[in-house]
Amino acid sequence: MNVKIRVPRYEANGAITPVFQTYTVAITPTTTVLDALNQIKGHQDGTLAFRRSCRSAMCGSCGVMVNGRNRLACNTRVAELNSSEVSVNPLPGFPVIRDLVVDWDPFFAKDAVMLPYLISDQTRPDDGTERLQSPSDARQIDSPSSCIQCGCCSSACPVQWTNSEYYGPAALTRSYRFVEDSRDTAVKARLDIVGTETGVWRCHTIFNCTSDCPKGILNTENIQALKRKIMLSRLGLGRIEVRARVPESA
């Protein structure tokens, strides 16, 4: 079966309006969008630019918009799109460098603001072993920890499109992952970082970030949990437990 793949071709830095090019690709029931792009690059047009690495939905490199939804190219089967023409576009809201390649610097700069590492003022166990968690505490951070930083969520957020200063759901879920970590002792500093106009209060609960997350992370709920934690902490009620729902698949 043949399918048409429609791709915008951008000049350097996306400064020029793209010219759309259509390629015809032979697919099987298991051909992914990434397979199709590889087929184009390998056999039809070596100048087509796109990112990929692991081909197994782990590295987060291949996020693109496919037929209007943000997805990982490597785990989206062309046949399951039920479309004779598939449009593949760079992630919206990100500056385009060329074709399907976008600039990740602003995205990772926001991630760095979240202090994306464990901070603890507790001494390590005497025998030098790791800091342990209960299974239920570990389960609470399973879902936000499964984020692969593909950018599909932040790119799907209309608030992010209109306000590039907004941290966005990926960075906020990253913060939530450490706020919810029973071993982390920097919760107040973390809540101060996200409790700003460019943080959680900019979220309008549109839910695009949740619906387009290829890992099923409930980003919107994580952001709402951060809002409630900030409010309770400002009211001096920080000991009340507020947690986002854990996805059923987690």
Q: Name the residues that contact ligand FES, by CB under 6 A.
A: 52-55, 57-62, 72, 74
The residue (of 59 and 119) whose beta carbon lies closer to ligand FES is: 59
Q: What's the min distance (Å) between Cβ of 142 and ligand FES?
A: 19
User: Residue 246's closest CA among 146, 159, 178, 156?
Assistant: 146
Strands 85-89 and 69-72: unpaired
Give the angle subtended at the CA of 15 by the CAs of 13 and 17, to the nearest 5°.
Answer: 125
Lookup: tokens for 64 = 């693109």
The residue (of 72 and 194) whose beta carbon lies closer to ligand FES is: 72
The residue (of 10 and 50) whose beta carbon lies closer to ligand FES is: 50
Q: What's the min distance (Å) between Cβ of 90 and ligand FES?
A: 15
Q: What's the min distance (Å) between Cβ of 151 and ligand FES?
A: 11
Judge whether 205 and 159 are in contact, CB under 8 Å: no
Radius of gyration of the chain, Cα coordinates, nearest whole angstrom: 20
Cα dihedral 41, 45, 47, 50, rounded to 10, equals -30
The residue (of 57 and 187) whose beta carbon lies closer to ligand FES is: 57
Q: What's the min distance (Å) between Cβ of 30 and ligand FES?
A: 15
